[in-house]
Structure 1
Amino acid sequence: MPNLSHFMIPADDVDRARRFYSALLGWKIEPVQSSPDSMGIAAMQYHDITTGPPAAGTLNTGGLYKRRMTEPILDFMQVDDIDAVLAKVAGLGGTILIPKTAIPGVGHNAMILDTEGNLFGLLMPEKK
């Protein structure tokens, strides 16, 4: 069965979104250098995202780009301390839509709107 291998986040303001995700989750977000064969990467303002070191059961790469349509994302970011992350959301310009919620046998999750109006989730797995 195919696994999710990459995620992409559309943004109206790429720099604002980069600052939000870098400060909130500690992601490394860097612009992709365009070349004649890069299929319009410069116009997309495309940035590579590295979420952390590879780990079993997680995805650690993605992209951030200039929104072209009304495309959404809905991905969950795995965190070690959901309370610490949620405490930073409002100060960075995001909105908590669904607060920390227990999922028995799984862990805790929450849903957030970022600075660009994208919905995403946080997941803190249950300690085994």
Structure 2
Amino acid sequence: MANLSHFMIPADNVDRARHFYAALLGWKIEPVQPAPDSMGIAAMQYHDITTGAARPGTLSTGGLYKRHLNEPILDFVEVKDLDFVLSKVEGLGGKVTMPKTAIPGVGQTAMVLDSEGNLIGLWTPIKK
């Protein structure tokens, strides 16, 4: 069964949002130092979020980034076979909105709209 594994929060003002979540919920929010092949992380003003210690029944990692469109909070589901999952999307009434894309050092990701128009991220980590 695929589990939610990561969330991303878009923000019009990343510093303001960082302060809000850190002060309100005590989250640790640190800027990511982009690598040369990091898919525009610097322009995104991407920050890693740690919500606390991982434990059963909780999601403990996320990201905060500069909003580019009118995107909602985005949840990512870890899947074992990204190609297989993507091959089923349209037949189930969904739409692939971002094809499979490599994230250097992390894995592969894609984004889909579900049958109700909700955006969901899918990803497969690099096999270790």
Tell me the TM-score normalised to structure 1 length. Answer: 0.56
CA distance in 2, matches of 1:71, 1:39: 18
Q: CA deviation at 1:38?
A: 1.0
Look up the match of 1:18: 18
Number of equivalences: 75
Say whether 1:37 aligns with 2:41.
no
Structure 2 counterparts to residues 67-78 of structure 1, below 5 A? 67-73=67-73
* Structure 1 unaligned residues grouped into runs of 5+: 76-128
CA distance in 1, matches of 2:36, 2:9: 24
CA distance in 2, matches of 1:12, 1:74: 15
Q: CA deviation at 1:42?
A: 0.3
The structure carrying a bigger strand percent of its residues is 2
Look up the match of 2:7: 7
CA distance in 1, matches of 2:70, 2:34: 25
Displaced runs of 4+ in structure 1, greater than 6 A? Answer: none
Inter-CA distance 65–74: structure 2 relative to 1 (3 Å threshold): closer
* Structure 2 unaligned residues grouped into runs of 5+: 76-128
CA distance in 2, matches of 1:74, 1:30: 19
CA distance in 2, matches of 1:48, 1:37: 18
Q: CA deviation at 1:74?
A: 7.2
Taking only aligned residues, the RMSD between alpha carbons, in angstroms, comes to: 1.3
Tell me the TM-score normalised to structure 2 length. Answer: 0.56
